[in-house]
Each structure stands twice: as C-alpha cells, then as structure tokens.
Amino acid sequence: MIPESFEYHVPKTVDEAARMAAEFADDGKVLAGGHSLIPMMKLRLASPKHLIDLGRVEGLKYIREADGKIEIGALTTHFQAEYATLLKEKCPLLPETARAIGDVQVRNKGTIGGSLAHADPAADWPAAALALDAELKTVSTSGERWIPVSEFFVDLLTTSMNPGEILTAIRFPALPVRSGDAYAKHAHPASGFAVVGVAARVTLDEKGIVEKARVGVTGVSSKAYRASSVEAAITGKAPSSKNLDTASLHAVDGIDLNGDLYASAEYRGHLAKVYTARALALAVERAGGK
C-alpha cells in the first residue's frame, strides 16, 4: 500500500518545527529517522495531513558530556551511539543497546529520539533509558521542559508528551565508580525487535555488596517498565549467582504480559526472568564483582 496524500514540510530550526507542530496539531506528524512512522503510513495506520521532517534541523545530532551527564541529540542515529568513543567510556550501556537494534541499515538511519518518542513496547532504547533514569527534553511554542523517564512511557505507543511538543534531547547519568552496565536481549528472528530485552546498571559498595540496582525491561508488556521488585530484592545483598537468580524471579511482578504467535505470555514471563538474571550477572561482573 501507499500512504494517503500529505503535505511535506522541512523546517530548518527547532522553533520553526515547533510552530508547525502547534499549527497542524493532530493533523501533523513529526518525522525523524522514519523507521516507525513511514511503515505505519504505508499501512494507513497513520494518515497525517502534514509531515514535519526534522532531518534538516540543525543542532539535534550530537553526543556530549556536561556536569557529569551525557546528553544526546534526538536525531543521533543508533549507529552513532554504537560507535561513540565518549559513550563507550562514560555510558557503555548505550553502545551495547544500539548494537542490538535491527540491522546495519536500521542503525544507520533510525534515531534514538524517534525510537523513544514512538514508544514501541518492543523497542530497545526504552529499557536502557529506564535503567539509567534518563531525562527527556521536549520543546514547544510554550517553551521547553525535561521529563523524567519514569513519567514518559504511558502505554502502547503513548508517551506523556503534550500535543505540539517535539523531543529534542535525552540526558543520561555517566557510569559511577564500581558500577557496571549490561543489555541482554532475546530478539524476534524476523523483525529484530525485542521479544524480551533487559537493561541493567549495578553499583557495588566498597565491600562488594549491591549498593544500587536499576533494571529496565522491554518487549514484555504494553510499555517498557522498571523492574522495581527485582531492584529491591538484590539491593543490600551480595551479588552471588543465587541472589541474582532469586531477585530475577520478580521480573514480571504486577505486570500484564503480552502474548502472540511467537511467544505466549507465559513464555515471555519466563524469558524476562532469564534475561534479567543474565543482564544483572554481566553488569555485576563489569562492576568488578565476582
């Protein structure tokens, strides 16, 4: 199929794009990398009358460090995140997550901002953003604001962004001392999306006890979520294999599980526990734990 007719707009600045988003309101859609919106338009699951292409907006493609945090422009591609030296040194979960996305073609065109704003329940970036307590910057004609990731994902393909807002940047905390990151994923063999994806950041104290743990899970429910029960179960304990496995049994506590032809709800729940244990174990190893 081909999309319904639409008008194509190419703003040069964020302010211009924000004015267009406000003017067109529900009749407009913002285009970043296009890997999510264009297929939906071709299937006529989305039929915007105005398409606002951010591809030529200056200043939305960067990776930089400031005040102990890593800030990434929304149009930064998965490929750029995968190979960024700064991220490998200061926030290694992001390159590892980027490397797990789709294929080379997808990683060269798809953007981190586009993926997060689309809020696909099987996308990889939401798990990493949740595990790192990210903040997301949006801009509109009313100004700008930073949204905690804990408030960002609302439901299937739904975020807390207001009409007319454009996602422009994402901010992540750098890797603390005695900490390790990991992303473990069971990918769908056809689409490459996460049947289950688990991102973890673990910080150990000077005695090797888990001081802090953050776990983000994608692919399991209608939206990505923080596995807070897992975090609570392992915090303050030695990161032994037994303790990690026991904590991981809580990976789907209180969660409504997705089920489909590839993976039933029961199987997804099982995979979530297995991949949570794997992500935690690898994060602990990288943090210097045994």
pLDDT (0 to 100) of residue 224: 98
The three-state (H, E, C) secondary structure of the chain, written as one string: CCCCCCEEECCCCHHHHHHHHHHHHHHEEEECCCCCHHHHHHCCCCCCCEEEECCCCCCCCCEEEECCEEEEECCCEHHHHHHCHHHHHHCCHHHHHHHCCCCHHHHHHCEHHHHHHHCCCCCCHHHHHHHCCCEEEEEECCEEEEEEHHHCEEECCEECCCCCCEEEEEEEECCCCCEEEEEEEEECCCCCCEEEEEEEEEEECCCCCEEEEEEEEECCCCCCEECHHHHHHHCCCCCCHHHHHHHHCCCCCCCCCCCCCCCCHHHHHHHHHHHHHHHHHHHHHHHCCC
Read off the pLDDT of residues 16-48 as tens digits, 9 standing for 90 and up: 999 999 999 999 999 999 888 999 999 999 999
- Given CATH 3.30.390.50, say whether it is the number of domain 180-287: yes
pLDDT at 67 over 90: no
- pLDDT tier for residue 1 given thresholds of 50, 70 and 90: confident
Instruction: State what percent of residues in the chain have pLDDT above 70.
Output: 99
Q: Specify the CATH number for 7-53; select among 3.60.130.10, 3.30.470.160, 3.30.450.30, 3.30.43.10.
A: 3.30.43.10
Q: pLDDT band at 2, cuts 50/70/90?
A: confident
Strand order in the sheet with 143-148: 63-66, 69-73, 166-173, 135-140, 143-148
Tell whether the model's pLDDT for residue 116 goes beyond 80. yes
Q: Given 3.30.420.40, 1.10.10.10, 3.30.465.10, 1.10.1030.10, which CATH number is that of 63-173?
A: 3.30.465.10
Residue 74 is predicted with a pLDDT of 98
- Mean pLDDT (whole number) for 186-213: 97
- Note the pLDDT tens digit of each residue in 235-262: 999 999 999 999 999 999 999 999 999 9
Place of tokens 């888990």: 210
How far, rounded to the nearest angstrom, does the alpha carbon of residue 275 sit from its chain's CA centroid?
Answer: 17
Q: Which two tokens stand for residue 176?
A: 């603390």
Identify whether the C-beta of residue 8 lies closer than 8 Å to the C-beta of residue 53. Answer: yes
Residue located via tokens 């769908």: 188
* Strands 69-73 and 158-159, bridge-based pairing: unpaired
Q: How far apart are CA 159 and CA 144, in angstroms?
A: 16
Per-residue pLDDT at 93: 98
Percent of the chain with pLDDT over 90: 96
Cβ contacts of 46 within 8 Å, gap of 6 or more: 29, 37, 40
Domain range summary for the chain, segments of one domain joined by +: 7-53, 63-173, 180-287
Average pLDDT over the chain, rounded to whole?
96
The token pair that represents 219 in the structure block: 């692919």
pLDDT at 290: 62
What is the identity of the amino acid at 161?
Answer: M
Q: Which two tokens stand for residue 246?
A: 């026991």
